[in-house]
Amino acid sequence: MSTTTVAHHDDHHDHHPTGLMRWLTTTNHKDIGTMYLTFSLIMFLVGGAMILGIRAELFKPGLQLMKPELFNQLIGVHALIMIFAALMPAATGFANWMIPLQIGAPDMALPRLNNWGFWLLPPAAILLTLPFTLALFGIGDGALATGWTFYPPLSIQGGIGVDFAIFSVHILGISSILGSINIIVTIFNMRAPGMTMMKLPLFAWGWLITAFLLVATIPVLAGAVTMLLTDRHFGTHFFDAAGGGDPILFQHLFWFFGHPEVYILLLPVWGFIPQILQTFARKPVYGYKAQVYSFWAVGALSVVVWAHHFFTAGMPVPALLYFMYSTMAISLPLAVMFFCWIKTMWKGSMSFETPMLFTVGWIILFGIGGLTGLVLADVAADAQYHNSYFVVAHFHYTLFAGGIMGMMAGVYYWLPKMTGHMYNEKLGKLHFWLTAISFNLTFIPQFFVGLAGMPRRIPDYALQFAEFNMISSTGAFILGLSQLLFVYNIISCIKGGEKATDKVWEGAQGLEWTLPSPPPYHSFTEQPVVK
Amino acid sequence: MIEQGDKQSQRALANKKLAYKLLWIVAGSLLFAFALVPLYNVLCSVTGLNGKTQNSATTVVSAKVDEKRLVKVQFVATVMPGLGWNFYPKTPSVTLHPGQVESVVFVVKNTTSQTVVGQAVPSVTPGKASAHLKKIECFCFVRQELKAGEVKEMPLRFFISPELPEDVNELTLSYSFFSAVKN
């Protein structure tokens, strides 16, 4: 596949290695997209199982199931897995599958880089979780136990789990950068004739901003964890106060990456949510330009607000005020987006198939996440909320509801296109209602215990929090188990089911719906002309 | 067919060029991450953001004592993990006029059975007061070596500069003792 003539030759015959070699060597954007999505689903279950261990421990006050050390490890690794190995690969998987189809490109711009980008992920996931297994054989004391934020001095004192996590983050970072470069080049260079930038589907726009954020901020994280590594082993003192270093510096570096990361996870979702809305409201997207500009505004603001993650670490008042107001300013472009989403539905002839259910639920729940974020951005209030369960509930509203439930909407929306079969609609709806209700059951109590002062990342709690924690754990187990319905529905949809039409949804708009379901292995070898 | 092949290879070249350009952004932000370290340190030493105080003796002692103001200075002593010492200030706090030179004593005891070298690292809160705490003599200027079981009384002579911001009436001087030898 190294020369263009072979690539051209290929589309008439569709020959490629079969079995394992097909997946190891593939440069096809649909194959790679499928691998990303599969990997993401597996890691979603792994990360979910870890947090169910945590919720089981928190079901009752006192220590029942595990030692505090293991508790700390599970919390940090759960977060790293969900962010880097579940949400980000899911977004990249959709990008691989859908961006070439949406912009009328034959494939991603850099297919072999694409293959590398994916195959870096499994080793990184293994590196991250290996210390758990090693500890069983008496090597080391388990995985990273600092929480996903790696704060020194704890991360400087930690065991080999920290080193494994640092190398894992390096590899995950390289993978994200490769994927991002590929997406930027694809969107800039591979669009079909007539597909101008302001005609791009919003999903491509959202991903373009995400990709730029990743390229600009992942190296900062890589740099920060590298400094941590040299502090641990090579006698440098970037963050080690003993030699004149400053642990707070790490927090600045980490959140310079970490805050944009939040929008990196969300922008692709903000991209395809309007597309789902227009499909099921049977109306064109409202405020396309406003949404594109809002994406840019959020992207730009996201890199200048980082210090609101550690208001309590000590900052001069002017700095506190700056970070408070700039953080609150992000709600302005987001309010524009919320308005556009609602206006897209307004007076539409709506129908509520599973993707639409997830999308409408997503708007409400993500809205709660956003509003509770505004409360946290308030410097005066944050002193009370910092490091409490209020924060945990807030970021799960943004990242589980806003991230994962958004991705689920995407899965149900595009699964018939990708597999050629309709999924089971009844099961899908059941999955939505179980997920939405048990999600709220899990996290609403956490707002209250947080306000009452229950600190996060602690394996035990005061007795007055017992009832709320029991409700929360019950919700978490229902939430976890209902995801098995999701997995079952996906697998049975891949295996068979009612044949999907090319357009799949009555109101679907965009180039991907002009292709057969499933699309041929090589699509758009003759680029369509967009008018 | 051949024409299309040409077009495709041209596009592949353009793709590669753009990818390399994007790699410059990656390299730039990696560099930026490391450049932030000295930038941060400069910013902190100018503004006193992180409470770091000067770690060498002040030679110029201000003669002017501001009799109208009283400032309370509290002392905090911490021993970091890996150093088997006891460490505490003899007086937990002093109240003094800005410009007035004060002496206090910190006591340290090596509770281990071997000779150990430690280094004390100071920090002042609130951060904006850190530049105004001037030390004339301090045990933190040099490493301290203690034999097994040895007890040492260590002096600290300092004054608060009269330029201390008006709204600061109380400040905390904290010392963390670290093991000076990496294990």
Note the pLDDT tens digit of each residue in A261-298: 999 999 999 999 999 999 999 999 999 999 999 999 99
User: Is the bond preceding B126 in cis, omega lying within 30 degrees of 0?
Assistant: yes
User: What is the phi-psi region of residue B108: left when phi exceeds 0, alpha when psi lies from -120 to 50, beta otherwise?
Assistant: beta
Asked if the C-beta of B26 comes within 8 angstroms of chain A's C-beta atoms, the answer is yes
Q: What is the CATH number of domain A17-514?
A: 1.20.210.10
Element (H, E) at B74: strand B71-79
The reply to whether residue A8 touches residue B47, judged by beta carbons under 8 angstroms, is: no
Q: Which of B25, B34, B40 sits opposite A223 (nearest CB)?
A: B34
Q: How far apart are CA B162 and CA B64, in angstroms?
A: 8
The reply to whether residue A246 touches residue B81, judged by beta carbons under 8 angstroms, is: no
A422, pLDDT greater than 80: yes
The proportion of chain A whose per-residue pLDDT surpasses 70, expressed as a percent, equals 97
For residue A308, the cross-strand partners are: none
* pLDDT for the residue A6: 41
B81, pLDDT greater than 90: no
At residue B175, the 3 state secondary structure works out as strand
Q: Token pair for residue A89?
A: 């690969």
Q: Which amino acid is at A470?
A: M
Burial of B98 (0-12, 13-18, 19+ CB in 10 A): buried
Query: In the structure, what pLDDT confidence band is assigned to residue A10 with cuts at 50, 70 and 90?
Result: very low
Structure pTM?
0.91
Burial of A235 (0-12, 13-18, 19+ CB in 10 A): exposed
Q: Is the ipTM of this complex over 0.95?
A: no
On average, the pLDDT of chain A sits at 94
Neighbours of A284 (CB within 10 A): 12
C-alpha pair distances (Å), A425 with each of A279, A410, A415, A490, B149: 17, 15, 12, 11, 76
Asked if the C-beta of B10 comes within 8 angstroms of chain A's C-beta atoms, the answer is no
Q: Which of A4, A157, A315 sits opposite B9 (nearest CB)?
A: A4
Q: How far apart are CA A181 and CA A174, in angstroms?
A: 11
The reply to whether residue B52 touches residue A246, judged by beta carbons under 8 angstroms, is: yes
CB half-sphere exposure, A276, CA atoms < 13 A:
28
The reply to whether residue A189 touches residue B5, judged by beta carbons under 8 angstroms, is: no
Q: How far apart are CA A181 and CA A117, in angstroms?
A: 10
- Residue B67 is given by DSSP the state T
A77-85 mean pLDDT = 97
Q: Token pair for residue A469?
A: 């924690």
Asked if the C-beta of A273 comes within 8 angstroms of chain B's C-beta atoms, the answer is no
Query: In the structure, what pLDDT confidence band is assigned to residue B2 with cuts at 50, 70 and 90?
Result: low
A305, pLDDT greater than 60: yes
Asked if the C-beta of B47 comes within 8 angstroms of chain A's C-beta atoms, the answer is yes
Nearest CA in chain B to A316: B49
A414-430 mean pLDDT = 97
Nearest CA in chain A to B17: A185
* pLDDT for the residue B62: 63
Angle at B152 between CA B146 and CA B157, to 5 degrees: 120
Query: In the structure, what pLDDT confidence band is assigned to residue B65 with cuts at 50, 70 and 90?
Result: confident
* pLDDT for the residue B129: 86
pLDDT tens column, A190-213:
999 999 999 999 999 999 999 999
Nearest to A217 by CA among A136, A118, A303, A98: A303
The reply to whether residue B15 touches residue A241, judged by beta carbons under 8 angstroms, is: no
Q: How far apart are CA A115 and CA A7, in angstroms?
A: 16
User: What is the phi-psi region of residue A104: left when phi exceeds 0, alpha when psi lies from -120 to 50, beta otherwise?
Assistant: left
Measure in Å the smallest separation between the Cα of B63 and chain A Cα atoms: 30
Query: Which of A268 and B52 is assigned the larger pLDDT?
Result: A268
Q: How far apart are CA A510 and CA A201, in angstroms?
A: 8
Q: How far apart are CA A359 and CA A406, in angstroms?
A: 7
Burial of A270 (0-12, 13-18, 19+ CB in 10 A): buried
Neighbours of B37 (CB within 10 A): 19
Given the DSSP bridges, would you call strands B144-146 and B116-125 parallel, antiparallel or unpaired? Answer: antiparallel
The proportion of chain A whose per-residue pLDDT surpasses 90, expressed as a percent, equals 90
C-alpha pair distances (Å), A205 with each of A108, A116, A530, B22, B169: 16, 24, 17, 17, 54
Q: Which of B15, B40, B121 sits opposite A185 (nearest CB)?
A: B15
Q: Which amino acid is at A67?
A: K
Q: How far is CA B86 from the centre of its chain?
A: 22
Spatial contact of A456 and A392, defined as CB atoms under 8 Å apart: yes
Asked if the C-beta of A318 comes within 8 angstroms of chain B's C-beta atoms, the answer is no
Asked if the C-beta of B49 comes within 8 angstroms of chain A's C-beta atoms, the answer is yes
Q: Length of chain A in residues, anyone? A: 531
pLDDT tens column, A469-484:
999 999 999 999 999 9
C-alpha pair distances (Å), B70 with each of A48, A155, B94, B128: 58, 41, 10, 17
Element (H, E) at B109: strand B102-110
Nearest to A252 by CA among A214, A203, A207, A306: A306
Domain residue limits, chain A: 17-514
Nearest to A60 by CA among A443, A482, A474, A479: A474
Q: How far is CA A483 from the centre of its chain?
A: 17
Nearest to A248 by CA among B36, B128, B70, B74: B36
* pLDDT for the residue A15: 66
Nearest CA in chain A to B3: A5
Q: What are phi and psi of A246, to 5 degrees?
A: -135, 115
